[in-house]
Chain A
Amino acid sequence: MQRNKFRWVTKCLPVAAVIALCLFLFLPAPAYAMHIAEGILPFYPAAVWYALSVVFVGIGIFMIKRKTQENRGIMPLLGITGAAVFLISCLPIPVPIAGTCSHPCGTPLAAILVGPFISTVLAALALLIQALFLAHGGFTTWGANIFSMGVMGSFVGFGSFVLFRRLHAPLFFAAFAAGLFGDWATYATTAFELASGLSTDSALWTMFATILIAFIPTQVPLGILEGLFTGGVVSLIYQQRPDLLDFKLATTVITKGEITGGNI
């Protein structure tokens, strides 16, 4: 009995090390808010982004309700995914080649684990807490930030994952692509939100291109980093709990050998 107890501890040690490393990396640092700050967007554009986001968040809440009624066992997965999105999206990472800081999104990873609609709800909650208590983002720009990080990050990330899985890409690579494209889509959408809210109609695309180019030195390396992180975490979860991603079996091609770690 005692021996079994120690075996369990030994098995958990690598996981505990990963969690400890994550906690160390996520240790609080001076906040450099990267979401659109309070008051930046005028009323009407902000309202439009709110309206668009409400649709996705509403569907996400409905799906959470349905899934938790079907199986209460999904609650820990929602908990860990929500906490991950919150921590990742307020983690400033210095990018040496640009000399600036920015943060990953975490929503591509969340979308792979719980689906894009539920991931949008988790992102909305994370953004709300950040806007209210961490001076990170804003309440008036909450809708715009949900749409860029929650909706676009989740759906582009999830879409990339499914696409690459259908193309028989290895699991790590598909998750890497999800993180990479999800991150880039988030900041491309932020650039569009800013351009559409701040420019006159004639200068929309010029301003969009200018802001997008300004994001590139920071977000290109950060997107690659988010891709590596997403790929690593999804591979780890597959090794530990392949059944958690069972719902992907319907849409992606995963062989039995791969689930047991053969192709990761």
Chain B
Amino acid sequence: MKTTTGTLSVGLLIIVVLLSLTFWTVSMFGRADVNAEGKWPGVDETVIEKYAAVAGREPVEPLINTDQGDLLLFVFAVAGAAGGFIAGYCWRILLREKNGIIGPGS
């Protein structure tokens, strides 16, 4: 009974997530006026830097400036892959502990 309820809950959750993602995507296409400018500015531009500029403060170049061409994309790809690997690896260890394959402290 509990398993059926659990499966039903997970199923409902998946449906809600899929519907939300669909709504989100459709809404973004609806924002053609924003896309016409070719970008979705971050709140750093629209809020932080805007008010900083009013107060006479401008952002300076980062210590290591990777925001050059596709370099930033490369760094993000490496960081995303490394972070994803670490998360997946640790999650696998946690599941193995659950299944009694290795115990906490081993």
A residues near B (Cβ < 8 Å) are: 8, 12, 14-15, 19, 22-23, 26-42, 71-74, 76-77, 79-80, 82-84, 86-87, 90, 92, 94, 96-97, 99-102, 129, 131-135, 138-139, 190, 194, 198-199, 207, 210-211, 214-215, 218-219, 228, 232, 239-241, 244, 260-262, 264
Tell which of B40, B52, B64, B93 touches A133, judged by Cβ atoms closer than 8 Å. Answer: B64
Which one of B42, B65, B93 contacts A101 once the chains associate, using CB atoms below 8 Å? B42
The answer to whether B84 touches A23, judged by C-beta atoms less than 8 angstroms apart, is yes
Residue in contact with A86 in the complex, picked from B10, B46, B47, B79, CB distance below 8 Å = B79
Closest to A140 in B: B60
The answer, among A79, A96, A135, A240, for a CB contact under 8 Å with B95, is: A240
Across the A-B interface, give the 6 residue pairs with the lowest CB-CB distance, nearest first: A73-B104, A32-B42, A28-B76, A39-B60, A96-B27, A198-B55
Cβ B59 vs Cβ A129 within 8 A: no
Contact B52 A99 (CB under 8 A): no
State A105–B67 Cα separation when bound (angstroms): 22
Q: Chain A: which residue is nearest B9 at the CB level?
A: A264
**A87 to chain B: which residues have CB within 8 Å?**
80, 83-84, 87
Q: Known pairs A28-B76, A83-B83, A215-B47; list 18 more (Cβ under 8 Å).
A: A8-B99, A12-B95, A19-B84, A19-B88, A28-B79, A32-B40, A37-B48, A40-B57, A76-B91, A80-B91, A83-B90, A87-B80, A102-B43, A133-B79, A198-B52, A198-B55, A214-B50, A215-B43
Give the bracket for the number of chain B residues in contact with chain A: 35 or more
A-B Cβ contacts below 8 A, count: 198
Instruction: Please report the C-alpha to C-alpha distance between residue A94 and residue B44 in the assembled complex, in whole angstroms.
Output: 13
Question: Which residues of chain B come closer than 8 Å to A132, judged between CB atoms?
Answer: 63-64
Asked if residues B79 and A129 are in contact (CB atoms below 8 Å), the reply is yes
Distance between A131 CB and nearest chain B CB, rounded to angstroms: 7
**Is A240 within 8 A of B41, CB to CB?**
no
The answer on a CB contact under 8 Å between A194 and B51 is: yes
Give the contacting residue for A100; candidates B40, B62, B88, B92; CB below 8 A: B40
Contacts A31-B72, A99-B40: A39 and B90 contacting too (C-beta < 8 A)?
A: no
Q: Judging by beta carbons under 8 Å apart, are B72 and A96 in contact? A: no
Given A8-B99, A32-B44, A40-B52, residue A79 in contact with residue B30 (CB < 8 A): no
The interface residues of chain B lying within 8 Å CB-to-CB of A82 are 86
Contact with A76, one of B5, B30, B59, B93 (Cβ below 8 angstroms): B93
Which of B63, B84, B91, B106 is the most central at the interface, judged by chain A CB atoms within 10 Å of its CB?
Answer: B91
- Listed by A's residue number, 19 A-B pairs whose Cβ atoms lie within 8 Å are A15-B95, A19-B87, A34-B48, A37-B44, A71-B105, A79-B86, A79-B87, A80-B94, A90-B79, A96-B31, A100-B40, A133-B64, A133-B66, A134-B66, A135-B64, A135-B65, A198-B52, A199-B55, A244-B94
A26 in contact with B40 (CB, 8 Å): no
Q: What sequence of 0s and 1s flags, for each residue 23-34 of chain B, a beta carbon within 8 Å of any chain A beta carbon?
A: 010011011011
When the two chains form their complex, are residues B43 and A101 in contact, meaning their CB atoms are under 8 A apart?
A: yes
A261 contact set on B, CB distance < 8 A: 2, 5-6
Cα separation A87 to B80 with both chains bound (whole Å): 7
Q: How far is the CB of B4 from chain A (nearest CB, A)?
A: 12
Contact across chains for A99 and B34 when beta carbons are under 8 A apart = yes
